[in-house]
Amino acid sequence: MDFKEEIKRRRTFGIVSHPDAGKTTLTEKLLLFGGAIHVAGAVKNNKIKKTATSDFMEIERQRGISVATSVMGFEYRGRKINILDTPGHQDFAEDTFRTLTAVDSVIIVIDSAKGVEPQTRKLMEVCRMRKTPVMVFINKLDRSGKDPFELLDEIENELKIHVRPLSWPISNGPTFKGVYNIYDEKLNLFSGESKQTVEEVIEFKDINHPDLENYIGDEYAKTLREELELISGVYPEFEVKDYLSADLAPVFFGSALNNFGVKELLDCFVDIAPYPLPVKAEEREIGPFENKFTGFVFKIHANMDPNHRDRLAFVKICSGVFQRNTNYLHVKANKKMKFPSPTAFMAEKKSIIDEAYPGDIVGIHDTGNFKIGDTLTEGETVHFKGLPSFSPEMFRYVENADPMKYKQLAKGLDQLMDEGVAQLFTNKFNGRKIIGTVGQLQFDVIQFRLEHEYGAKCKYEPIQMHKACWIESDDKEQLEDFRKRKYNVLAIDKHGREVFMAESPYALQMAQEKFDKIKFHFTSEF
């Protein structure tokens, strides 16, 4: 297969949702249909010991939530599918936002009972900013939920995108009969007994055929015909180009837990989703079919394998072919590096690969050379943009709880901060370390991982803090004056940049007004 064909068969996408909408369960079922796993794990309480493939960290298994993006690849119908399962919990939103820079399309999972939730809105904003094509999967139809038309209106209003249903549910909850696949003109019937299988799939080109009544009963057949007529009257015909230009979201209905509607979603996705797209760098746009290799690091994960204490940098390949044991330029460090054991993923299971194509995600063993946003090329100097670090909103002093483990704590904090889990600031005035996060749950995750992965115990102390902002100025005199006056609330971040730690909104406002030649930044573009 030639280079272009290899790229065109790649589909790299992220699955996003509000927590508990069934995102990780859907990922499991996609892997199951793709033949990548043989038993799908369930994200449930501790009664089921088999956990989801994509939740591989110990804390994820204990809490039943995803706290880190995981990458999984498999082959399906001649296509190479790369799934990035992201954390739904808003405390880990930053990991999700960064992951969205590495995907070409997105599937949004929505709970049919709860509809569009706050976290889903935020994620959609990121997709809109980047013009990422979006598909919607409305999940949990085996439970009573909202009316499908009401859900479609809600998605249009809340997510500000046009929708077009490509499958349609026949009732829901206890009377759920199945789904009519509009895209393929097939009827999928749900078996009520085991609740785990699609009983039968019937080709149904003519929905007005009297046989329909034999399958789902008179009343449901009548309702289905009326609703399908309404759909064709209200919604425009589905055009793939509208989906690819991110103006329209195809909508599928189903129940991921019961394997229902998942294969239809996957089949349609494989047909219409975009292959790797051009990526904007600061210098120019880089197309996937260019011969020279380029890629960027969008995530770093420490301790994927607790036995080896390894760190992996996740690299999204943008153009050319990445090859094992070849010298590539690390643009930021301006040095050549070669990688003897690049890996492909199946959550924490890894296999060494010899080459990878645009759209693929490759794991590179990292001894501290990489930071999020770093670029690898065959020699050209390019910088990819859009991997920001957000200004944290919660702060704690971090103290060593075991004096014998000082080194372990320092190493653990250093590595976890490189992952972008949180940010570490050192106060200039007293040298104390401050951790800043976007959400409360991250403090628990850091404490848990420090203890279980590095053998280090830490304790937190409260600190009165409103916002951390990066400062810069061309006016040296004013900057010097600012440093003198604010010395006790200035800190240095992990990369040596100066940060103003404002104690309150008022303190920040006063500083901005008084020192008008200083720029206060709320994101740090790495």
CATH number of the domain encompassing residue 297: 3.40.50.300
Domain, as residue range, for 354: 279-377
Characterize the bridge pairing of strands 467-473 and 394-400: unpaired
Q: Specify the pLDDT at position 251.
A: 93
Q: Is residue 256 part of a domain?
A: yes
Write out pLDDT tens, residues 422-439. 889 999 988 899 998 876
pTM of the model: 0.74
Burial of 21 (0-12, 13-18, 19+ CB in 10 A): buried
Length in residues, the chain: 526
Q: Specify the pLDDT at position 24.
A: 75
Number of domains observed in the structure of the chain: 3
Residue whose C-alpha is closest to residue 333's, from 377, 386, 299: 377
Write out pLDDT tens, residues 455-465. 899 999 999 88
Taking a C-beta distance cutoff of 8 angstroms, is the pair 287, 311 a contact? no
Q: Specify the pLDDT at position 191.
A: 65
Q: Is it the case that residue 37 has pLDDT exceeding 70?
A: no
> Are 62 and 211 members of one domain?
yes
> Are 394 and 369 members of one domain?
no
Q: Is it the case that residue 153 has pLDDT exceeding 90?
A: yes
- Average pLDDT of the chain to the nearest whole number: 80
Q: Is residue 183 part of a domain?
A: yes
Lowest mean pLDDT among 275-279, 301-305, 395-399: 301-305
> Quick one: which H or E segment has residue 373?
none
Q: Which of 34-43, 206-215, 362-371 has the highest mean pLDDT?
A: 362-371
Q: Is residue 319 part of a domain?
A: yes
Higher pLDDT, 458 or 60: 458
Per-residue confidence band for 388, with pLDDT thresholds at 50, 70 and 90: low
Per-residue confidence band for 305, with pLDDT thresholds at 50, 70 and 90: low
> Are 125 and 245 members of one domain?
yes
**SS3 labels along 61-113:** HHHCCCCCCEEEEEEECCEEEEEEECCCCHHHHHHHHHHHHHCCEEEEEEECC
Kindly state the tokens that stand for 248: 């329209």
Q: Specify the pLDDT at position 68.
A: 44
Residue that terminates a domain, selected from 235, 255, 272: 272
Q: Specify the pLDDT at position 89.
A: 45
Q: Which amino acid is it at 293?
A: F
> Are 213 and 327 members of one domain?
no
Q: Is residue 238 part of a domain?
A: yes
Per-residue confidence band for 88, with pLDDT thresholds at 50, 70 and 90: very low
Q: What is the mean pLDDT of residues 180-185?
A: 82
Burial of 47 (0-12, 13-18, 19+ CB in 10 A): exposed
What is the percentage of the chain residues whose pLDDT exceeds 90? Answer: 20
Q: Is it the case that residue 249 has pLDDT exceeding 90?
A: yes
Higher pLDDT, 203 or 179: 179
Q: Specify the pLDDT at position 346.
A: 55
> Are 142 and 12 members of one domain?
yes
Q: Which amino acid is it at 82?
A: N
> Are 348 and 399 members of one domain?
no
> How far, in Å, CA of 318 to CA of 101, rounded?
11
> Are 267 and 283 members of one domain?
no
Residue whose C-alpha is closest to residue 524's, from 441, 410, 425: 425
